[in-house]
Amino acid sequence: MGRHARHSDSDMSGTHYRGTPEDSRPRTAQPLSSSTSPSSYNTALGTVIRNLKDDPEPFRQIFYSTLFALDFSVRDLFPTSMRRQNSRFVRGLIYILEAIDAAAADPSHLDELSEYLSELGRDHRKYGITADHYHTMNEALLLSLSQVMTEDWNTTLEEAVSSAFSTASRVMHNAAENDDHPARVEGTVLETMRIGRNVIVVRLQLEQPIDYLPGQYMAVQVPQCPNTWRYLSAAIPANDSGLIEFHVRTIPNGYFSRQVVTNTRVGDRWILGRPRGQLHNAVTSDQPICMIARNVALSAMRCILLDMVQNRKSNPLVDIYYGTEYPGELFDASTLANLQASNPWLIVHICADKKEDPWWLKDAPELPSNLRLRQGNPLELAIADGSIHGRTVVVGGGMPLVNKAKEVLPRHGVDHESIHHDPL
- Shared domain for 221 and 304, answered yes or no, is no
Report the pLDDT averaged over residues 387-414.
Answer: 94
Which helix (H) or strand (E) segment is 109 a member of? Answer: helix 108-123
116 in any annotated domain: yes
Report the pLDDT averaged over residues 36-64.
Answer: 85
Report the pLDDT averaged over residues 381-410.
Answer: 95
Q: Is the pLDDT of residue 21 over 50?
A: no
Amino acid at 266: V
Report the pLDDT averaged over residues 402-408.
Answer: 95
Residue 244 CA to residue 199 CA, distance in Å, equals: 17
Residue 343 CA to residue 325 CA, distance in Å, equals: 27
- Shared domain for 414 and 313, answered yes or no, is yes
- Shared domain for 332 and 414, answered yes or no, is yes
Q: How much is the mean pLDDT over the chain?
A: 87
Residue 246, classified by CB atoms within 10 Å of its CB into exposed (0-12), middle (13-18) or buried (19+), is buried
Report the pLDDT averaged over residues 233-252.
Answer: 96
CA 1 to chain centre: 25
CATH code (residue 50): 1.10.490.10
Residue 402 CA to residue 318 CA, distance in Å, equals: 19
* Contact partners, residue 399, CB within 8 Å, separation at least 6: 424
Cβ atoms within 10 A of the Cβ of 334, count? Answer: 14
Instruction: Please give the model's pTM, rounded to 2 decimal places.
Output: 0.80
Question: What is the per-residue pLDDT for 223?
Answer: 96
CATH code (residue 382): 3.40.50.80
Last residue of a domain, one of 142, 177, 212: 177
Q: How confident is the model at residue 83 (pLDDT cuts 50, 70, 90)?
A: low
Report the pLDDT averaged over residues 50-66.
Answer: 90
Percent of the chain with pLDDT over 90: 65
356 in any annotated domain: yes
Please give the residue that has the higher pLDDT: either 278 or 169: 169
Inter-axis angle of helices 333-342 and 298-311, to 10 degrees? 30
Range of the domain at 258: 184-273
**How many structural domains are present in the chain?**
3
1 in any annotated domain: no
Inter-axis angle of helices 131-148 and 45-54, to 10 degrees? 70
* Cα angle, residue 295 at apex, residues 293 and 301 outer, rounded to 5°: 40
- Window from 53-62, 232-241, 336-345 with minimum mean pLDDT: 53-62
- Shared domain for 13 and 152, answered yes or no, is yes
3 in any annotated domain: no
Please give the residue that has the higher pLDDT: either 389 or 74: 389
Return the C-alpha torsion angle 346, 347, 350, 351, nearest 10: -130
Q: Is the pLDDT of residue 22 over 50?
A: no
23 in any annotated domain: yes
Q: 101-110 in b/e burial notation, b at 16+ Cβ within 10 A?
A: bbbeeeeebb
Residue 215 CA to residue 275 CA, distance in Å, equals: 10
Pairing mode of beta strands 199-206, 243-249: antiparallel
- Shared domain for 169 and 47, answered yes or no, is yes
Inter-axis angle of helices 155-177 and 131-148, to 10 degrees? 160
Residue 405 CA to residue 407 CA, distance in Å, equals: 5
Q: What is the DSSP string of 361-411?
A: GTTPPPPPTTS-EEES-HHHHHHHHTTTTTSEEEEESSHHHHHHHHHHGGG
Question: What is the per-residue pLDDT for 60?
Answer: 86
Please give the residue that has the higher pLDDT: either 107 or 33: 107
Q: Please choose, from the candidates 77, 82, 62, 73, the residue with its C-alpha nearest in 3D space to the C-alpha of residue 143.
A: 62
Last residue of a domain, one of 177, 198, 232: 177
Last residue of a domain, one of 177, 198, 222: 177
Question: What is the per-residue pLDDT for 148?
Answer: 92
- Shared domain for 171 and 40, answered yes or no, is yes
Phi, psi of 221 (to 5 degrees): -120, 135
- Shared domain for 144 and 284, answered yes or no, is no
120 in any annotated domain: yes
Give the pLDDT confidence of 174-200 residue by residue, as tens digits.
Answer: 999 998 888 899 999 999 999 888 999
Q: How confident is the model at residue 402 (pLDDT cuts 50, 70, 90)?
A: very high
Question: What is the per-residue pLDDT for 365?
Answer: 81
Please give the residue that has the higher pLDDT: either 195 or 26: 195
Give the pLDDT confidence of 111-130 residue by residue, as tens digits.
Answer: 889 988 998 899 888 888 88
Q: How confident is the model at residue 322 (pLDDT cuts 50, 70, 90)?
A: very high
- Shared domain for 264 and 339, answered yes or no, is no
List Cα–Cα distances, 171 to 163, 218, 293, 294, 363, in angstroms: 12, 22, 36, 37, 53
CATH code (residue 230): 2.40.30.10
- Shared domain for 305 and 262, answered yes or no, is no
Residue 289 CA to residue 391 CA, distance in Å, equals: 5
CB 215 within 8 A of CB 298: no
168 in any annotated domain: yes
Q: Is the pLDDT of residue 15 over 70?
A: no
Q: Which of 36-45, 59-68, 222-231, 334-343 has the highest mean pLDDT?
A: 334-343
Please give the residue that has the higher pLDDT: either 58 or 346: 346
- Shared domain for 53 and 87, answered yes or no, is yes
Q: Is the pLDDT of residue 35 over 90?
A: no
- Shared domain for 132 and 170, answered yes or no, is yes
Q: Is the pLDDT of residue 226 over 80?
A: yes
- Shared domain for 149 and 32, answered yes or no, is yes
Q: How confident is the model at residue 37 (pLDDT cuts 50, 70, 90)?
A: low
Question: What is the per-residue pLDDT for 28?
Answer: 33
325 in any annotated domain: yes
Report the pLDDT averaged over residues 275-298.
Answer: 91
- Window from 224-228, 284-288, 332-336 with minimum mean pLDDT: 284-288
